[in-house]
Amino acid sequence: MSTRTRKQLGLAALAALIVTLTAATTQEPTSLKEAYKGAFVVGAAINAAQITGQDRRGDAIIGEQFDSISPENVLKWERVHPEPVTYAFDLPDQYVAFGEKHHMFIVGHCLVWHSQVPAWVFRDDKGNFVDRDTLLKRMHDHIQTVVGRYKGRIQSWDVVNEALNEDGTLRQSPWLKIIGEDYIEKAFQYAHEADPQAQLTYNDYSLENEAKRNGALALIKKLKAEGVPVTSVGIQGHDGLQWPSVENEDATISAFAKLGVKVVISELDIDVLPQATKQQTADVSMKVGQDPKLNPYANGLPQSVQEELAKRYADLFGVYLKHRDVVTRVTLWGVTDADSWRNDWPVKGRTSYPLLFDRSGQPKLAFQAVIRVGANTKTE
């Protein structure tokens, strides 16, 4: 082969390579993590079947689509620390190993909450409330043991979960009643001691409602002023088709950002079913009786509602992207519609459609819409 032919072949190969690369870079991303790369990580809350590999279809979606995971239940106090001297680390260990295998940003959820805490935590042998020092010690030991075990491996902890009432005052939980208001700062201090590098979040729902938002803003402001190591606010994002408005979400993120904390959308799902509660809430204790009117899509979601959901998801992701300088993570609360807690709350046994993948694991219109919002921003 002459030198000239060799050169021509070399140039042709180079041209082919350029064409391939150009095609690859102009193609729409196929995963959420790719679509939002450089903006924020996109996570999913995962359940025991996914952690242990029993849900293979779910695991394939998680591995392909997400670059962060949250434990839907396995790190809650009653699961990980059911008895005073018994810790159950088997599932949490597998959870962390799952995230590491996929090189994910791993979240811990949650340390101090009023729900899913065993009764013994607050009581003595006679069944009476323990005193402040005893409860502080129990809280300290729990946080030290759980956060310490995953030091440097779980990158972010939901330290205090849902401490506020809807009117912005502090919830009268046993934590507050026994320890007093400073239980919140103590929890953050203990978590920081156990892993000084971990991001530490105050996490709550309905923060878009004015009274609750003001309560949360006042709380974060006070914690920051006292030097408490709170790094982010988790806006859970158990949303509906109408609530919160795009303007409201925008204003809520801005208000927290002004306080110098990062914002995470920590538990996103969008309900299309008729609202069964008067108030916009995600209070797990809420229960409403079954009524066919509250379950209108038991046999499938009409196309028009799929489209409405897709637009709604796109609008909200547009807001998150606008705030990409402070929003560090957006986590969906589940993988497919079949996994969602929304099927059983506040009414048991409804057929709900709040996520981006349908019951058979197929991407929904909402998925495409979310991908497009991320991809368009990249090419702007």
> Binding residues for ligand 9MR, per CB under 6 A?
72-73, 115-116, 161, 236, 267, 282, 284, 341
Q: How far is the CB of 236 from ligand 9MR (least distance, A)?
A: 6
Select 164 or 369, whichever has its Cβ closest to ligand 9MR. 164
> 199: part of which helix (H) or strand (E)?
strand 199-204
- Asked if residues 200 and 230 have their Cβ atoms less than 8 Å apart, the reply is yes
Cα–Cα distance for residue pair 152/4, rounded to 1 Å: 57
**Of residues 267, 307, 308, 380, which has the active-site annotation?**
267
Select 160 or 282, whichever has its Cβ closest to ligand 9MR. 282
Q: How far is the CB of 215 from ligand 9MR (least distance, A)?
A: 17
- Asked if residues 370 and 314 have their Cβ atoms less than 8 Å apart, the reply is yes
Q: How far is the CB of 253 from ligand 9MR (least distance, A)?
A: 19
- Told to judge if 162 belongs to the known catalytic residues of this protein, a careful annotator would answer yes
Select 184 or 365, whichever has its Cβ closest to ligand 9MR. 184
Give CA angle at 333 (200, 279), nearest 5°. Answer: 95
Cα–Cα distance for residue pair 238/204, rounded to 1 Å: 10
Which residue's Cβ has the minimum distance to ligand 9MR?
341
Q: How far is the CB of 195 from ligand 9MR (least distance, A)?
A: 21
Select 236 or 252, whichever has its Cβ closest to ligand 9MR. 236
Give CA angle at 193 (188, 197), nearest 5°. Answer: 90
Q: How far is the CB of 231 from ligand 9MR (least distance, A)?
A: 19
Cα–Cα distance for residue pair 265/43, rounded to 1 Å: 10
Q: How far is the CB of 116 from ligand 9MR (least distance, A)?
A: 5
Of the chain, the end-to-end C-alpha distance in Å amounts to: 46
Alpha helices in the chain (DSSP H): 3-26, 32-35, 48-51, 56-65, 77-80, 90-101, 132-149, 174-179, 183-194, 210-225, 246-257, 303-322, 365-379
Tell how strand 199-204 and strand 156-161 pair up. Answer: parallel
Between the alpha carbon of residue 214 and those of residues 133, 211, 218, 268, the distances in Å are 30, 5, 6, 21
Between the alpha carbon of residue 223 and those of residues 213, 232, 265, 323, the distances in Å are 15, 11, 20, 23
Cα–Cα distance for residue pair 237/330, rounded to 1 Å: 9
**Of residues 34, 162, 208, 249, which has the active-site annotation?**
162
Active site residues: 162, 267
